[in-house]
Amino acid sequence: MRPEELRGRQAAGAVPPEELDRLVQREFAVIGARLRRVDGVAKVTGRAVYTDDLTFPGMLHGKILRSPHPHARIVSIDASEALALPGVHAVVTGRDMPVPYGIIPWTRDEYPLCVDRVRYIGDGVAAVAAVDEETANRALGLIRVEYEPLHAFLEPEEALDPPAGAEPIHAPTKPGRNGNVTKHVHLEFGDVDAELAASDVVVEGEYFFEGTTHTAIEPHCAIGYYDPTGKLTVWSATQVPHYLQRELARVLDLDVARVRVVQPAVGGAFGGKSEPFDLEFCVAKLAMATGRPVKILYTREEVFYAHRGRHPMKMRHRLGASADGRLRAVDAQTLIDGGAYASFGLVTTYYSGQLLTAPYRFGSYRFDSTRVYTNKPACGPKRGHGSVQPRFALEVQLDKLAERLGVDPIELRRRNFLGADTRTINELRVQSNGFLMCLEAVERASGWKERFRRLPYGRGLGVAGSCYISGTNYPIYPNAMPQSAAQIQLERSGRVTVFTGASEIGQGSDSVPAYIVAEELGVPLDYVRVVSADTDLVPVDLGAYSSRETLMMGNAVLDAARKLRKRVVASMARVWEIPPERVALVGGWALDRTDPERRVPISEAFNIAEAEHGALGATGSYDTPKDVHGAYRGGTIGASPAYSFTAHVAEVEVEPETGVVRVERIWVAHDCGRALNPVLVEGQIEGSTYMGFAEALMEAQVFKGPEQGRAGLHNAPSLLDYRIPTSVDTPELHALIVESVDPEGPYGAKEAGEGPLHSSIPAIANAIFDAVGVRLDALPFSPPAVWRALQDPAARARWEATHGARRAEVAAD
Amino acid sequence: MIPPRFDYVAPASLDEAIAILHAEGEEAKVLSGGQSLLPLLKLRLAAPRVLVDINRIPGLDRLDEADGALRIGALVRESDVEASTTIHAHYPLLADTAAVVADPLVRNRATICGNIAHADPANDHPATLLALRAVVVARGPAGERTIPIDDFFTGLFATALRPDEIVTEIRVPAPPPRSGGAYLKLERKVGDFATAAVAAQLTLADDGTIARAGIGLTNVGPTPIRARQAEARLTGQRPDDAVLADAARLAAADAQPVADRRGSADYKRDLVRVLAFRALRRAVERAGG
């Protein structure tokens, strides 16, 4: 068929001429429109293929034997009986993979399977591959492991100060150090002690953030296959295919060029799949041992053991302010309960302090954070990594300060606004900053001025603010290459294929490239096919963590798309004999802006360009600014190309007799720079706010203590007992988008996936104070905890006083 | 989350089912709605050798009033109770209870008889049926017998049933005129087991005093608890707030809570007091008092 024969059908599928005129006038044709996800239909109709949906001929099923002891030496392992069981193909133990791994290259302290020591109940000891799961499970029961129990550290304070003779959880990195300490960070900016001494008001508080886990609906799953030519392929429910590929090669001593990692559709991750896990090494090793594909699917219980969720943090905060409410000093001391392994803990320790310095200007700032190991599942990055806990403490401190000074808490936050195009006290560069707009949006939407401190007893409003990073300026392993790259290929039909390493975990990173390409190249959205997260096919992107995908992958795709756009535009300009600025690619057409009647279907424009330039393909990449951070040690950690800002107002109803807190509604305004697709941004804002609400009211990753027997055993490793709210429990959520247009983001976009979690929690705590006059400084705000706080006989009087004062003030007006 | 291996039989008659139970003894478990049994299997807390599915046995799904009592057959689902106009009109306590058991999907399968036969003190119907003075009808190889609800729960997950007996029916005496009941439950989230719950059933005499009171407590002891002191305090009294508050305090005293993930013993005891007062108030209102 000749190209002109295709023309009629293509024109029929493109935007009709009358709409085209309007589109050409607009700044964007696609960006900012309310659009579908590219994977939406497949997911809601059950056609999306997740890792556990994959099955291969001859595939074996693996299971991992897990430690029943919180801390013990492995004396011996005898797998002979298991190997003799019919249907069992292989058993591997720690000695088969004695290379330590870890997501942070400086803290590799974990083995695919424990070599000589187990460090928590659930630590992997041996793995079996068998013809089916039942046989594999039976085989696990036949493996004899002899343990020598060691002193188990369950509380971070004890780990910090171990009893004499108790062996630390890890060998000390240097002689004389406590092997139970992962990381200690002490940083001071300005003279905190002097500023505190000079402050008119000092607010002190102790806060506790309970550990919580991700509860992604899809459990971790991986399949390994080692083909006869010596190539390893691992399909995995991961959010970091690139790092996984590198670690598999390193630990298994393979050429990284012979390792392929494929990420099928992922059913939620939230940071819980952002580093390698034991099952990925085990399926690879078992596949190498058997020559067959091997699959391991975690049980829900194993997901709770794998964990890497929110660190429990004990925080002591002091805040000094002048009489007009300006923050002169913030002094934070934090003890972080890390669990058995480092995971991202080095970063967590820095983040617990570094990310607190916006959106408010601090006169001086000091933080002292220590992460210790304990004999429990390892904590790691959960949505809002490292900064959700200290944000809770700081925002409650601010509420207490406002109360002490008699200043409206929103006004107090305004007075301390950091500003745009500035540096924080720890020298993070902030460009766009829409925080004031966020405050104003929630203030207006919630009816704050008329209702704060004026609602009847039992009802209250609370406010909080926060900021978050849009990716990190420095990658996890030091290198000078771009953080994200993309490749685009144009077909003669008008279709476009985008290849990206970005990791779709539900946040929309398969959709964002399609929106960008449709915007730049003028093709209908459904002409764009996105191929992602398969290390054999796509250029490198570092993965879905620290809210980096939209900004970094978006910029890489934009870079490639603009190169192609330039070629197509140049060809059309030449054919029509007009300047290139007059050529528009929009809505399935190439057209002349000044004479829209002059137009061709986009495929024809592509054909003309291909005839002129040869095959139409381009690569693009993005790397972060590297010169914008403090020169001090650790100054690079927390540095991000752009920062998002959020404000929450929560409305609660507290039932004093039972301690039940009902969060009626939450207004949340989030500065995402630019909403590439408002539907996805609202989804992220609502999802984050929901997750914060869940942690505020009910979530708790907790373990049995010695008094309950089986010390260190997870207390609720199932979704029956680990509580997350259902839709019926969830408040009304009002997501308000604020766009500050950041110079660093694609079209000005910043992150939206993690920031809007943070202030959800302190806003609820502050609303409870407004409702009933008690402070909840420890999470979660469960009915028994609220009830206990309300047994304080002074609580009611405190409520009367705050509300009386406000009434007097109103009367004076 | 895969249950251990088990055999499965689906007998077509009650006699056949009982014969199998008799032959298998403790190794067999009756499957009706599976609300509790299936999670227990999946969590591998139970590993019965054989499941006896009674869902194909005809005649076990009656839900009607006869001879002065409501008959709830072994295959009556929570959703049947939720939807029944008779129950809403005359047994509001049962309607309240069915509406807060687990979630709608589970309620489409879960049975009231299974809910009591499992004898979990955290289940909701035991307290309700204690308050209503129900009678349990059980059938075994020797035929049918009736067990007063007060004698039914003998311990944690233990009942007066023999291994070869099946609960075929629950009979709830039809409440006299001027009766009302209510079930109030506090749960950590929708669909959860109760932190505590209180079932109250009252009948008012012509002079407006309380002729009869029934109070059952959920999940505050090793078995469902009948709050006898509280019942005694109410009988013969006018249902004013002072009396109800007094009875609520006594109900709290009758509770035997222990501390767990859902709260401290003190908290739960006080919660019983709060819920008992509210349930009694609502029961009085519904009785037209």
Interface of B with A (CB under 8 A): 1-2, 5, 39, 43, 103, 186, 188-192, 195, 261-264, 267, 270-271, 274-275
pLDDT value of residue A429:
97
Task: Dump pLDDT digits (tens) for A108-142.
Answer: 999 999 999 999 999 999 999 999 999 999 999 99
Residue A673 and residue A581 share a domain = no
Cross-chain CB nearest to A726 (options B190, B195, B274): B190
Answer whether residue A757 is part of any domain: yes
Residue A679 and residue A654 share a domain = yes
Q: Would you place residue A806 in the very low, low, confident or very high pLDDT band (cuts 50, 70, 90)?
A: low
Count of residues making up chain B: 289
pLDDT value of residue A406:
95
CB contact under 8 A, A726 and B195: no
Answer whether residue A408 is part of any domain: yes
Statement: residue A143 has pLDDT above 80? yes
Statement: residue A807 has pLDDT above 60? no
pLDDT value of residue A499:
98
Answer whether residue A377 is part of any domain: no
- What are the structural domains, with CATH classification, of chain B? 7-53 (3.30.43.10), 63-173 (3.30.465.10), 179-287 (3.30.390.50)
Three-state DSSP at A127 gives strand
Q: Report the sign of the C-alpha dihedral through residues B131, B133, B137, B138, in that order.
A: positive
Statement: residue A2 has pLDDT above 80? no
Q: Among A573, A594, A622, which residue terminates a domain?
A: A622
Rounded Cα distance between A438 and A689, Å, is 15
Q: Among A258, A281, A306, which residue terminates a domain?
A: A306
Q: Give the mean model confidence (pLDDT) for residues A333-350.
A: 98
Statement: residue B208 has pLDDT above 70? yes
pLDDT value of residue B71:
98
Cross-chain CB nearest to A299 (options B1, B5, B189): B1
Judge contact between A186 and A368, C-beta under 8 A: yes
CB-based contacts of A303: which residues, under 8 Å, 6+ apart? A213, A215, A216, A219, A220, A272
CB-based contacts of A459: which residues, under 8 Å, 6+ apart? A651, A652, A653, A654, A771
CB contact under 8 A, A783 and B267: yes
For the residues of B244-273, what is the DSSP string, one character each? HHHHHHHHHHH-----BTTB-HHHHHHHHH
Q: Give the mean model confidence (pLDDT) for residues A765-786.
A: 98
- The strand ranges marked E within B179-255 are 179-187, 194-204, 210-218, 225-226
Judge contact between A394 and A359, C-beta under 8 A: no
Residue A286 domain boundaries: 51-150+214-306
pLDDT value of residue A720:
86
Residue A798 and residue A686 share a domain = yes
- Comparing A221-235, A690-704, B38-52, B235-249, the range with the smallest average pLDDT is B38-52
Residue A555 and residue A463 share a domain = no
Residue A702 and residue A763 share a domain = yes
Provide the token pair at A75. 């004396």
Which residues in chain B are closer than 8 Å to A724, comparing Cβ atoms?
189
Task: Dump pLDDT digits (tens) for A651-668.
Answer: 999 999 999 999 999 999
Residue A650 and residue A609 share a domain = no
- Comparing A9-18, A239-248, B65-74, the range with the smallest average pLDDT is A9-18
CB contact under 8 A, B191 and A726: yes
Q: What is the CATH number of the domain that holds A70?
A: 3.90.1170.50
Answer whether residue A721 is part of any domain: yes
Judge contact between A349 and A369, C-beta under 8 A: yes
Task: Dump pLDDT digits (tens) for A698-717.
Answer: 999 999 998 888 999 999 89
Statement: residue A12 has pLDDT above 80? no
- How far apart are the CA of A689 and the nearest CA of chain B, in angstroms? 18
Provide the token pair at B226. 């009948």
Q: What is the CATH number of the domain that holds A767?
A: 3.30.365.10
CB contact under 8 A, A716 and B264: no
Return the percentage of chain A with pLDDT > 90, whole number.
93
Statement: residue A4 has pLDDT above 80? no
Q: Among A306, A337, A372, which residue terminates a domain?
A: A306
Rounded Cα distance between A345 and A373, Å, is 10
Q: Report the sign of the C-alpha dihedral through residues B231, B234, B240, B242, in that order.
A: negative
Mean residue pLDDT across chain B:
96
Interface of A with B (CB under 8 A): 133-134, 299-300, 657-660, 698, 700, 702, 715-716, 718, 720-721, 723-726, 728-729, 782-784, 787-788
Residue A557 and residue A493 share a domain = yes
Residue A238 and residue A279 share a domain = yes
Cross-chain CB nearest to A723 (options B188, B263, B271): B188
Cross-chain CB nearest to A716 (options B195, B261, B264): B261
Provide the token pair at A240. 């970091």
Statement: residue A809 has pLDDT above 80? no
Residue A525 and residue A561 share a domain = yes
Answer whether residue A158 is part of any domain: no
pLDDT value of residue A14:
75
Strands A181-189 and A365-372: antiparallel
Which residues in chain A are closer than 8 Å to B192, comparing Cβ atoms?
723
pLDDT value of residue A626:
87
Strands B50-53 and B28-31: parallel
Residue A650 and residue A611 share a domain = no
Q: Give the mean model confidence (pLDDT) for residues A422-427.
A: 98
Residue B162 burial (CB count, 10 A): 14
Statement: residue A16 has pLDDT above 70? yes
Which residues in chain B are closer than 8 Å to A133, comparing Cβ atoms?
2
Q: Give the mean model confidence (pLDDT) for residues A230-246.
A: 98
Statement: residue A1 has pLDDT above 60? no
Task: Dump pLDDT digits (tens) for B128-144.
Answer: 999 999 999 999 999 99
CB-based contacts of A398: which residues, under 8 Å, 6+ apart? A319, A360, A409, A412, A413, A464
Q: Would you place residue A183 in the very low, low, confident or very high pLDDT band (cuts 50, 70, 90)?
A: very high
A765-to-A468, A782, B197 alpha-carbon distances in Å: 20, 12, 27
pLDDT value of residue A10:
67
Answer whether residue A192 is part of any domain: no
Strands A327-337 and B7-9: unpaired
Rounded Cα distance between A236 and A133, Å, is 18
Statement: residue B164 has pLDDT above 70? yes
CB contact under 8 A, B188 and A783: yes
pLDDT value of residue A716:
87
Q: Domain tally for chain A?
A: 3
Q: What is the ipTM of this complex?
A: 0.94
Residue A258 and residue A138 share a domain = yes
Residue A144 and residue A22 share a domain = no
